[in-house]
Structure formats: C-alpha cells, structure tokens
Structure 1
C-alpha cells in the first residue's frame, strides 16, 4: 500500500484463497457446492425409478427425506459461516511496552559506544538516504542487525505499507510503516507516532527484535501467516 504525501494508502483485496497485499490478508471462501441442490431427477433419490416410486407410494417419506437433507445443508452452511474470520494483518503480536523500551535502551547504548569511532553509513545503491527506506536502513544497523537482514526488513515493510508512514489499513486499523495493530502501540516510543517515520521505525524494529529476534524470522512468520 503506497500513498504519497498525506494520502492514506488503501490495501487492495485480491480474489484468491488467502492473499496478502499491503498488510491486508483476506480469506475468500471457495464455492460451496453443498448448498446447491442436485438436479431435479436426483433430488428425490438415487435414480429416476426410485424417485417415482417414492413420490407415488410414500409421498410423506419423500417429503421428510427432502426436509432432512435441506436442514443438514442449512446447518452445515451456518457452521461454515461461523468459521469465517478475517486473518490478522500487520504487527499484530503482543509485546509488553517494557520490553519495547528495553530494546530501545540497548540500542541507545550501542549507539553511544560506537560514536567515538563512528563512520558514515554506506547505504545500498538502491536506497535513497532521504527516504523512509534510507532511515530504516540506518536505524536497522543501530539496532544491531547485520546488513544481511536488510533484504528481509525491506521486503516485510514494502509489503505491509510500502514504507509509507501514513499508510492505514481501512479494515483492521493497522497503521504506519510497520503496520502496528493496534496503531496506538507505537505511542510507547513517542506521541508523534502518527506522523513521524522515525518513531514508527524504532517501534517496529524493537517489536521485531523482542518478538522474533531478527527481520528474517519476522519475514518467515509473515510468509506463513500473513502477519508478523
């Protein structure tokens, strides 16, 4: 989901059995053939002869059988309707605020230790330093993740939000670059979580570190389930 400027990104819904796009995963039920009645010749029994015999010799029995079959189909349909639940999307796991803050504290210590001999970060050639992706790459290194983890973090947040800090899933309410669900979880990092990409990225990296240990593991979970 990408949206320039102040535009809110809307996640497209694709027709498939279980697709994820821009942070929104939707289950599309296959055609339920059990609720479609059989042909007229087969509705009363296994053969045309049996159907004629049932209708002329024991109409009450045939009616009861049809009613029982219809009831069974109705109950089965209701059961399937009850099982239809939209899958979670975005950063939907539960991580206590205290754990998020601890990850941020450790990051601050790493940065402080590195400052005396810090050298400019060399970004990948396809990453613009002035973009949210550029900021995300630098902050990922600050969090202690290896450069090799970038491909997974980039893929994860490209799919979730397109690195758009104003992206919002209109169905679930997941918000921002990491698609925090609920969005207010990011407030533990800063009150400006709605508009500040750095606040969102810091929360997202702390969340990934606390829950999965690495962007690679978070990406693998997202691939399996549609959320992380």
Structure 2
C-alpha cells in the first residue's frame, strides 16, 4: 500500500507528480493547511514537523519531498529519473534539488507575510518587497543560464519535478513574462501526461484568494 498525505498545491505535489511519472498505484489522503488537521498526534507520528508530504510505503513512512523523490527514484530505477553517483550529471542534479528549496523558502516567507497573517496590516511592505526582489533574482539567475529543454542535458528527471513545482507558487508573486525561457520550459512540462494526471488529483487549493499579489504601495 502506498498512501500520500497531501495538501493541494503543497510541496507534496512534487511526490504526487513523480509517482504519476513512475506509474505507481497509490492513494491520496487530503489535508488543509488551515484547519489544524496536520497538528494532530496521528499526523505528527507520520511527519514530525506536521507538514506535507508524508508518504506511507508499505511499512515505511517518509517525509521531506526531496528525500522522498530520491528514495522513490532509487526504489523504482525504471524509468531512470535520477543520475547515479559518479555520472556526469549527478552534481547538476543535486544542485537543482537544493536550488528548488531556495525558491521554496522565498515563496514560503512571502506566503507568511501575504497569506497567513491574521491581520494583513501586520505585514512589512519593506520585507515583502525584499523577498519578492530576491525571488525574482533567484529565477532570473536560472533564466540567464538556461540553454536546454530540462534541468539536465540528458532529459527529464526528478530535478524538474522539484524545481518546476516552485513555479506553481512563485507565479502568485512574480510575472513569468519576465522569464520567457522558464515559461517555455514550464509550458513544456505541463504538457506531460503524468503532470496532467497529477493536477487532476491535486485537489482544490485554499492557500491563495487571488491570482496575483502585487507589491504593496507603501
């Protein structure tokens, strides 16, 4: 039995997408980040920090999306979605796994300031502008170096699942017409049948109440 504990549009989408790429048969247990369902003792037994993803795989329980993706790629080596140690693309693969969390941390801090404060007036316009500028700079750095179809020259890999997930959230804070190469890359990924199956199972997100959050004027 494989069961993914998942919040729609959460980091657990990475695991959902990868398992569709691997052709696995799995269940999805849905949660909301707003209703306290991830703060129960039962859920914390699966994920100590009370966050998704958590993956039950037989008698094993795993948490943290990058770790889960790497473990799944090792457990299911076909199709090959992860270069092995010693291969030429291994270093670049690991770089993108980590850079994905650079994007993710910036988005998470923007979420805290723009989505989750009980009183929006408590947010600092200066902090929001700084975080948005850092997010834009992090994306621009890759845009300027992008010269291939996927993260790796060898083709699609789990690095794309990790990295491009950040676009799902970054688009609420930056305009992707600033990054035409990354937009074309993301459009190409969204055409993948496994991505489309994953989006069909993702569920209705309740994180954002608008399509875009412009910079505060003050």
Shorter chain as normaliser: what TM range? under 0.3
Larger Rg: 1
